[in-house]
């Protein structure tokens, strides 16, 4: 004698339960993905995370994000002076310029008024001695919140630090606004070092990238003159430069420091701090 069991409702309920689990899992992944983007944009630009959260309310999310981010960046330019920081101009064509529009787009071009004065005065002094010289700023700081990290830097968190690109010369001499790499970083001047080859360090070598950079040399005269001006400025506290470059330029003073083996290399740029 057989049994007729109607398993239809059972399978339907099981299917609905599995579908519900998949939907919850997809929703969880979506939430985690949005949180990851918020963290990413916040660490990269400080204001981008807020813009992404706002963009989630719109169907055309990418367009909304770009518009919100642009609006927040413009507002930051106006508000930052009330918090003790000013934006280095992204449009100025004088002796001091931002090296790339990228630093401006990412809100990494803010410094204290005092550091802005130091940079403007130093660039003007170098241009006075070597007419036509352009001093280029790389990463500086975000517009708000002392202590907020500007990765991958260890110390750009208070508006009192900025990185400067080297001056470079080609076969025909000094090349205004030239840098070996597109963003001014990671084109290292090779020289002796006592630092061990460790994994847990920010001292990246990026050896695979080195053949890609332009064939330019550091303009020793202009770079030496820049460093001497900074050294004699009482407002300047420290200047980080690799020891082999200090030796090459013939500069050994109390303000010129070695940043240590755990920090990024400083034979692709100059770090300045008050």
Question: Model confidence over 229-239: pLDDT tens digits?
Answer: 999 999 999 99
For 151, the token pair is 């990765």
Comparing 32-41, 97-106, 199-208, the range with the smallest average pLDDT is: 199-208
Cis preceding linkage at 125, omega within 30:
no
Q: Which residues contact 106 (CB under 8 A, 6 or more apart)?
A: 44, 45
pLDDT digits (tens, 9 = 90+) for 61-116: 999 999 999 999 999 999 999 999 999 999 888 999 999 999 999 999 999 999 99
Tell me if 100 sits within 8 A of 178, measured CB to CB.
no
**Predicted confidence (pLDDT) per residue in 12-33, tens digit:** 665 555 656 667 776 677 888 8
Q: If DSSP states are collapsed to H, E and C, what string results for 32-101?
A: HHHHHHHHHHHHHHCCHHHHHHHHCCCCCHHHHHHHHHHHHHHHHHHHHHHHCEEECCCCCCCCEEECCH
Two tokens at 186? Answer: 């990671």
Structure tokens at 76: 């930051």
Which two structure tokens, joined as six digits, stand for 38? 């918020």
Structure token digits, residue 122: 């130093």
Residues in the chain, overall count: 274
The whole-number pLDDT of residue 106 equals 97
Name which of 125, 153, 126 is nearest 138 in CA terms.
Answer: 153
pTM: 0.86
């Amino acid at each position: 004698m057989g049994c007729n069991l109607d398993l239809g409702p059972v399978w339907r309920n099981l299917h609905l339960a599995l579908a519900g689990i998949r939907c919850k899992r997809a929703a969880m992944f979506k939430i985690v993905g949005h949180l990851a983007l918020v963290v990413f944009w916040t660490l990269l630009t400080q204001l981008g995370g807020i813009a992404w959260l706002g963009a989630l309310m719109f169907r055309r999310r990418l367009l909304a994000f770009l518009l919100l981010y642009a609006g927040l960046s413009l507002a930051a330019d106006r508000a930052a002076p009330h918090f003790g920081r000013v934006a280095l101009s992204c449009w100025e064509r004088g002796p001091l310029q931002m090296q790339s529009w990228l630093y401006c787009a990412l809100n990494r071009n803010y410094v204290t008024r005092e550091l802005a004065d130091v940079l403007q005065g130093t660039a003007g002094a170098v241009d006075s001695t070597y007419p036509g010289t352009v001093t280029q700023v790389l990463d500086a700081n975000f517009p708000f919140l002392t202590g907020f990290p500007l990765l991958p830097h260890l110390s750009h968190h208070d508006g009192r630090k900025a990185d400067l690109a080297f001056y470079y010369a080609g076969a025909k001499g000094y090349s205004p606004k030239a840098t070996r790499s597109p963003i001014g970083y990671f084109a290292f001047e090779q020289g002796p070092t006592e630092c061990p080859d460790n994994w847990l360090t920010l001292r990246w070598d990026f050896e695979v990238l080195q053949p890609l950079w332009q064939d330019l040399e550091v303009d020793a005269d202009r770079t030496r003159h820049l460093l001497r001006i900074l050294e004699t400025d009482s407002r300047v506290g420290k200047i980080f430069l690799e020891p082999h470059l200090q030796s090459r330029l013939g500069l050994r003073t109390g303000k010129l420091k070695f940043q240590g083996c755990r920090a990024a290399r400083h034979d692709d740029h100059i770090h300045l701090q008050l």
